Amino acid sequence: MSDDLHHLAAAYALDALDPDERAAFEAHLEHCESCRADVADFGAVAGELAGATAVAPPAALRDRVLADVAETRQERPVVRRLDEPRRRQRSTMLLAVAAAVVGLIAGAAIVLTMSDRGSGADEVLSAADAITMPLEGTDGSVRVVWSDELGRAVVVGSGLPDPGEGREYELWAIVESGPVPAGLFTPDDGSVEEVFDLDPSATSPAAWGVTNEPEGGSPAPTGDILYFAEV
C-alpha cells in the first residue's frame, strides 16, 4: 500500500484498489477535500470517455453468454492471502496501470474537446459558399471566413497584441445601415480561432472590421477600426 494516500485517488476512481487499500483510502477520503475533488474529476472524465465510445452489444450476445454459462462447470475460487511483499508489488503495479489509464483518459478527453471546438470552424471553412477575407492591420494578421448560408463566421488570427486588461476585440459586420456586432474574442498568445453566429442583419456585409472594446463589447464601435477590409 502506498504510504501517501493522496496518490490512490486515480486508482480508487478506476476501482483498482484491493479491499485493504480501499478501506484505508475511504477513511482518508472523509477528511480530505483535495482527494474528493480528484476522485470526482477522474470519475467524470472516465464516465464521459466511456459514454463517448460505448457501443450497443449484439442482440444475440445475452443468449450466447447464458448458453455458455449453462455448459461451463462452476467451481469455487481458491482464495489465498498475498504476503506483504507481493501485496506491495501488486499495489505498485495497480498504481502504474491506473496512472497510465488516467493519462489515456485525459489525453482522449483533450482530443475530444479539441474536436468539439474545431467542428464548428471546419463546418464554416468547408461550406460551399464560404468567403475568406484578409483584414488589413498594423499588428499581426486577421482574416474572416463566413458563410451566409450557415449564418456563421470564423475569425482566424496570429501575432495579435493583447487587448489589455478589461478589454476585448470586437468583430463588426459592416452593412449599409452601419456596423453590426458579430462577436468578441481575446487572443491566446497572439492567436485566435473563434466561431460566431451572425445576426440575420449581418449577412452579406459590405465590409468587416475589428476594434478594441471594453470587456463585454459595445453596441457600436467606440474607437478606431484596427483591422478592416471591404468585401
Our CA angle for 95, 101, 107, nearest 5°, is 135
**pLDDT attached to residue 113:** 38
Task: Please spell the DSSP secondary structure of 128-166, one letter per residue.
Answer: TT-EEEEEB-SSSEEEEEEETTTTEEEEEEESPPP--TT
Strands of the sheet with 225-230, listed across from one edge: 178-185, 167-175, 207-214, 225-230
Alpha-carbon distance of 223 to 176, in angstroms, equals 20
Q: For the residues 17-36, what does the mean pLDDT come to?
A: 83
Q: For the residues 199-212, what does the mean pLDDT come to?
A: 89
CA torsion, ordered 33, 39, 41, 44, to nearest 10 deg: -140
**Could you give the 3-state DSSP secondary structure of residue 1?**
coil
**pLDDT attached to residue 155:** 94
Does the domain spanning 131-230 belong to CATH 2.60.40? yes
- Report pLDDT digits (tens) over 167-178: 999 999 999 989
pLDDT band at 194 (very low <50, low <70, confident <90, very high): very high
Alpha-carbon distance of 35 to 183, in angstroms, equals 39
Contacts of 132 (CB under 8 A, 6+ apart): 143, 144, 145
- Report pLDDT digits (tens) over 55-103: 566 656 666 666 665 555 555 545 555 455 555 555 555 555 555 555 5
Give yes or no for residue 105 having a pLDDT over 90: no
pLDDT band at 121 (very low <50, low <70, confident <90, very high): confident
Give yes or no for residue 229 having a pLDDT over 60: yes
Our CA angle for 126, 132, 135, nearest 5°, is 150
Q: For the residues 42-64, what does the mean pLDDT come to?
A: 62
**pLDDT attached to residue 38:** 78
- Helix H or strand E encompassing 195: strand 192-197
pLDDT band at 21 (very low <50, low <70, confident <90, very high): confident
User: What's this model's pTM, rounded to 2 decimal places?
Assistant: 0.50
Residues of the chain with CATH 2.60.40: 131-230
DSSP 180: E
Q: Where are the alpha helices (DSSP H) in the chain?
A: 9-13, 19-29, 33-53, 61-71, 84-125
